[in-house]
Structure 1
Amino acid sequence: MSRRLVNVTLDNLSDLPSPCRQCVYWELDPVSGERARDSGDGELEKEAWVSDTLLEWGSCGQLIYVDGVPAGYALYAPPAYVPRSIAFPTSPVAADAVLLMTARLLPEFRGGGLGRMLLQGVARDLTRRGMKAIEAFGRVPGNAPEQRGWAAAPRPYRDPEVADYGCLLPAEYLRAVGFKTVRHHPRTPRLRLDVKSTVSWREDVEYAIDRLLGSLQVPVLSR
C-alpha cells in the first residue's frame, strides 16, 4: 500500500470530498459565504481563495493519498487569510500561530496511521516556514451556537447539530492529540498545539487522531 502526502494546489483541489469543495465556511465572511452558497458559486470562491493564498502566503493545505485514492486532507492558513476566524467568541488567533481550518480522514481509511501522517505533514510544513504553533476552534457537541450575537452567521447546512460550525473539529479530540485550551468557551473554545510536539507523537496517539479527523461531519449543502 503506497501513501503519498502532497500540498493542496489548484490542480488537485478537486480531490477534496465533494461537499468540501463547495464549502466556503472559512474562506469567506458570513454574508459573502451565504451569498456564494445561494448562488452556487462556492466551488469557484474556494478555488479563488486557494489561488490567492498560494500566491501570497504559500502552501495552505495537505492531501494524503492511498494507492492513488484521496484519503484525507487538511486546510490551514494565517488568520489574516481566514475571514471567519474573527467571528468566534474566542477570537482572535494568536499572531504566531496558523489556524487549522478543518481536516478530515475518510472513514474507510481510519486506523492505519494516516491521520498522524497528515497532521505531521502540516506541522513539518509550518516548521520549515518558521511558524511556532497551530491553533483551532473546537466545537463542544450538543451546544449549538446561538444565532444572536454570532456575527450574523448563516445556516448553510441541513443538520441543526452542525449548523454554523460543522467544519469545526471536536474539542475533546483536539485535546486528546495534544492541543491545549488557550481560551475557554462552552461552545467554541480555542486550542493550541506547539508544532514541535507533533514530532514525538507516539503510536498510541494514532487512534485519537484517526477519530479526530474521521469525526468531522461532512455537511450536506442546502439548496
Structure 2
Amino acid sequence: MSRRVVGVTLDNLDHLPRTCRRCVFWELAPHIREQAEEFGETEFEKEAWVSNVLLDWGSCGRILYIDNVPAGYALYAPPAVVPRAAAFPSGPISADAVLLTALRVVGDFEHGGLGRVLVQNVAKDLTRRGVRAIEAFGDLHEDAGGCVIPAGFLQQVGFKTVQQHPKWPRLRLELRTAISWKEDVEAALERLLGTVSVRTAEPALG
C-alpha cells in the first residue's frame, strides 16, 4: 500500500470530495455564501479562492492518497483570507498562526491514523515557511455539517485550547512541538552527513 501527500493545486482540486469541493463555508462571508449557493456558483467560488491564495500566499492544502486514491485532505490559510473566521466568537486567530479550516479522512480510510498524518504534513509545510503555529476553531457538538473540525480530534493530535467557548473553542498547535522525535533525529543525521560529505570532499593541503 503506497501513501503520498501532495499540495492542493487547481489541477487536483477536483480530487476533493464533492461536498468539500462545493463548500464555501470558510471561503466566503455568510451573506455572499448564501448568494453563491442560491445561484449554484459555489464550485467556481471555491476555485477562485484557491487560485487567489495560491498566487498570493502559496500552498493552502494537502491531499492524502492511498494507492493513488484520494483518502483525505486538509485546507489552511492565513486568517485574513478566510472571511468566515471573523464570525466565530472565540476569535480572532493569533497573528502568528495560520488557520486550519478543514481536515477529513474519507470513507473506508477512517480510523487508520491518517488524520494525524495529515496534521503532520501540514505542520511540516508551515514550519518550512516560517509559521509558528496552527490554530483552528473546534466543534464541540459536531453539528456543523462537517464544516468545522471536531474539537476532540484536534485535541487528540496535539492541539491545546487557547480560548474557551461552549460550542466553538479555539485551539492551537505550536509547530515546534508538532514534529516527531524520529523526524528531528532524521533531520539532525541529514545535517551531520551533509557536513561530513562536504568536509571529506575538500582537497588536502600540502
Task: Output the TM-score relative to the length of structure 2.
Answer: 0.84
SS at match of 2:152: helix
Aligned ranges 1:46-195 → 2 under 5 Å? 46-141=46-141, 161-162=143-144, 166-195=146-175
Give the number of the structure whose alpha-carbon radius of gyration is greater.
2
User: Displacement, 1:201?
Assistant: 7.7
Q: Cα offset for 1:116?
A: 2.2
Number of residue pairs aligned between Structure 1 and Structure 2: 182
Cα deviation 1:139-168 (Å, max 9, x = unaligned):
1117xxxxxxxxxxxxxxxxxx435xx311
Q: Which has the higher contact order (CA 8 A, sep 6+)?
A: 1
Q: Secondary structure at the match of 1:90?
A: coil
Other-structure match for 2:19 = 19
Q: Distance in 2 between matches of 1:201 and 1:108?
A: 29
Answer yes or no: is the 8 Å Cα contact 2:161–2:170 preserved in 1.
Answer: yes
Give deviations 1:110-135, integer Å, cap 9, x for gaps.
34432222111100110011001000
Q: Which runs of 5+ in 1 are unaligned?
A: 143-160, 203-223
Long gaps (5+) in structure 2:
183-206
**Runs of 4 or more off by more than 3 Å in structure 1?**
none
Structure 2 letter corresponding to 1:93: I
The aligned amino acid for 2:178 is: T
Letter in 1 for 2:148: L
Counterpart AA for 1:48: A
Specify the code of the residue in structure 1 equivalent to 2:87: A
CA distance in 1, matches of 2:181, 2:13: 28
CA distance in 2, matches of 1:56, 1:43: 20
TM-score under structure 1 length normalisation: 0.78
SS in 1 for 2:138: strand
